């Protein structure tokens, strides 16, 4: 008996309830039950009739009759010369998901849950999307359009970080903002302390410009000030990166009571500290006491991007220096500037986003996190989703390395963020991060695809033992 047939007999046909049904109808019932529970999926091939008959210890005629009944019910289809395959159930309320081993190439649109920014702009506040190039002349200031810098300054001031427009430099994203700061501070091949985990794009920027790094992992209260002080003293780091707002993909804010002591630890050392405030507008709704470190220490440079909260298509990042600094301008020519139209629209979005809009957005995302958590708890009980204050789930899989599963999931039409891509020391290999920013219908479809991907992954894993 080959491994695939063994899986069918032990997983699909193992449950043999005591019934008076004929043997062929027991086979039919087992296949339909496996489809309803998504143990088997559209496009999956059933074992050959003779092979299955031998495995189940029944006559070939019994299997033939069962397959014929399944064809009549529209459950399977026979392709001459290829075999018998599961068909999509017309009565199913779930989105049709192609089995990863199917020969069908079209799996529909890929659902990308690996990115922290929302991909659907339908939730954005209403603004005027028109743009007149003639109104802005031929040149664009290196620091960004004044209208956007003033809007960003007002935005940060409302969030508890008093800011003037002259302190702002506009970039195309948070990773580009971090790149500029690292260049301006000559961080090449110098040690770094990293608050981990962090978003993969930020990790890539740091590893490109710095030497060895020490990952500082949060405990139940977030970043430990004493641990930060020890790390800075031990490494004599030139750069430190922290995220007190959400700890990157983990979605865990640092306790507000720790922030003054964390700022004091920073003040006692010479490292240039960079913090990511991209999620601050929503995080403060969960904890109004949450403060940016940049408001407590002038040694901290804040960066962020509007994509994180507004929309992935914004393409706007920013740097907020403690004071206007001309040294940043030397790094700007190497970094592409955002389009003028994108800067104009971003300024309008910031002006139009009222406190109530942020509140509604936070409530919507919180509901979707609960929905996604409940679906995965039901469908994937072996997965462990940690508590979060963010807009996604940080999940520990019962495997040594989740990277292979992520590849299987990608082939099945859903992208996830892998934990090992969020650190520099090779840890967190068993974690993935799944965004909950998509619409509920999309999240349901993604959950179905993840279930199919996990079934395929675990079946292959068992077959390799």
Tokens of 408: 């299987």
The answer to whether 400 touches 430, Cβ cutoff 8 Å, is yes
Whether residue 263 lies inside any domain: the answer is yes
* CATH number of residue 201's parent domain: 3.40.640.10
Whether residue 210 lies inside any domain: the answer is yes
Whether residue 104 lies inside any domain: the answer is no
- Quote the pLDDT of residue 432: 98
Q: How far apart are CA 396 and CA 419, in angstroms?
A: 9
Number of domains in the chain: 3
- Quote the pLDDT of residue 9: 82
Q: How far apart are CA 7 and CA 407, in angstroms?
A: 22
Q: Is residue 219 located within the same domain as residue 299?
A: yes
Whether residue 181 lies inside any domain: the answer is yes
Q: Is residue 312 located within the same domain as residue 330?
A: yes
- CB within 8 Å of 155: residues ≥ 6 apart: 281, 350
Of 290, 319, 353, which residue is a domain's last? 353
Tokens of 55: 């495995």
Q: Cα dist. 319→10, 180, 184, 332, 385 in Å?
A: 58, 9, 12, 12, 33
Q: pTM score, two decimals?
A: 0.77
Q: Supply the Cα-derived Rg of the chain in whole angstroms.
A: 27
Q: Is residue 339 located within the same domain as residue 438?
A: no
* CATH number of residue 398's parent domain: 3.90.1150.10
Question: Could you report the per-residue pLDDT of 98-141, keeping only the tens digit for each?
Answer: 444 443 344 457 899 999 888 889 999 999 999 988 887 766 78
- Quote the pLDDT of residue 196: 92
Q: Residue 35: helix, strand or coil by DSSP? A: helix
- Quote the pLDDT of residue 2: 56
Whether residue 65 lies inside any domain: the answer is yes
Of 322, 353, 384, which residue is a domain's last? 353
Q: Is residue 221 located within the same domain as residue 316?
A: yes
Q: Is residue 385 located within the same domain as residue 322?
A: no
Q: Is residue 137 located within the same domain as residue 284?
A: yes
Q: Is residue 156 located within the same domain as residue 258?
A: yes
Q: Is residue 165 located within the same domain as residue 66?
A: no
Of 353, 373, 388, which residue is a domain's last? 353
* CATH number of residue 20's parent domain: 1.10.10.10
Domain of 30, in residue numbers: 3-86
Q: Is residue 202 located within the same domain as residue 334?
A: yes
Average pLDDT per 10 consecutive residues for the chain, totaling 465 residues? 72 69 87 81 83 87 89 84 73 41 52 90 94 79 93 97 96 93 80 93 88 89 96 93 94 94 95 96 92 96 97 95 74 75 96 97 96 94 90 95 93 93 93 95 93 88 70
Whether residue 254 lies inside any domain: the answer is yes
- Quote the pLDDT of residue 359: 96
Whether residue 95 lies inside any domain: the answer is no
- Quote the pLDDT of residue 231: 95
Q: Is residue 399 located within the same domain as residue 311?
A: no
Whether residue 295 lies inside any domain: the answer is yes
| Closest by Cα among 337, 336, 319 to 328 | 319
Q: Is residue 311 located within the same domain as residue 369?
A: no
- Phi then psi for 15, rounded to 5 degrees? -80, 100
- Phi then psi for 165, rounded to 5 degrees? -60, -30
Q: Is residue 66 located within the same domain as residue 141?
A: no
């Amino acid at each position: 008996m080959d491994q695939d047939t063994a899986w069918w007999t032990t997983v699909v046909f193992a449950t043999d309830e005591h019934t008076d049904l004929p043997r062929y109808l027991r086979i039919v019932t087992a296949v339909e039950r496996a489809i309803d529970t998504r143990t088997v999926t559209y496009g999956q091939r059933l074992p050959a009739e003779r092979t299955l008959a031998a495995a189940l210890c029944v006559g070939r005629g019994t299997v033939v009759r069962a397959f014929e009944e399944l064809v009549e019910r529209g459950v399977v289809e026979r392709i001459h010369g290829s075999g018998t395959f599961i068909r999509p159930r017309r009565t199913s309320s779930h989105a049709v998901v192609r089995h990863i081993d199917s020969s069908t190439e079209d799996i529909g649109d890929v659902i990308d849950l690996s990115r922290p920014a929302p991909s659907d702009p339908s939730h954005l506040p209403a603004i005027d999307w028109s743009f007149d190039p003639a109104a802005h002349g031929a040149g664009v200031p290196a620091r960004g359009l004044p209208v956007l810098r003033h809007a960003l300054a007002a935005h940060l001031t409302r969030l508890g970080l008093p800011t003037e427009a002259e302190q702002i430099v506009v970039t195309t994203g948070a990773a580009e903002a971090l790149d500029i700061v690292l260049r301006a501070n000559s961080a090449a091949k110098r040690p770094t302390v990293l608050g981990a985990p962090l978003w993969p794009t930020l990790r890539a920027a740091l590893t490109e410009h710095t030497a060895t790094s020490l990952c500082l992992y949060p405990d139940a209260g977030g970043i430990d000030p004493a641990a930060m002080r020890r790390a800075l003293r031990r490494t004599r780091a030139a750069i430190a990166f922290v995220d007190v707002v959400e700890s990157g993909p983990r979605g865990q804010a640092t306790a507000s009571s720790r922030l003054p002591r964390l700022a004091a630890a920073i003040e006692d050392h010479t490292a240039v500290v960079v913090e990511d405030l991209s999620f601050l507008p929503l995080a403060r709704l969960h904890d109004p006491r949450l403060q940016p470190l940049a408001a407590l220490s002038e040694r901290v440079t804040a960066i962020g991007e509007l994509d994180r909260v507004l929309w992935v298509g914004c393409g706007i990042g920013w740097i907020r220096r403690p004071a206007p600094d001309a040294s940043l301008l030397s790094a700007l020519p190497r970094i592409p500037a955002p389009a003028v139209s994108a800067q104009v629209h971003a300024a309008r979005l910031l002006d139009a986003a009222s406190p109530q809009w942020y509140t509604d957005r936070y409530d919507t995302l919180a509901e979707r996190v609960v929905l996604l958590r409940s679906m995965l708890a039901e469908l994937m009980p072996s997965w462990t989703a940690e508590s979060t204050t963010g807009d996604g789930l940080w999940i520990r899989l019962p495997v040594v390395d989740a990277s292979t599963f992520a590849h299987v999931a990608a082939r099945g039409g859903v992208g996830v963020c892998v934990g090992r891509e969020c650190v520099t020391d090779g840890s967190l290999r068993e974690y993935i991060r799944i965004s909950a920013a998509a619409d509920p219908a999309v999240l349901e479809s993604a959950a179905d695809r993840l279930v199919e991907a996990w079934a395929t992954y675990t079946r292959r894993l068992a077959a390799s033992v």
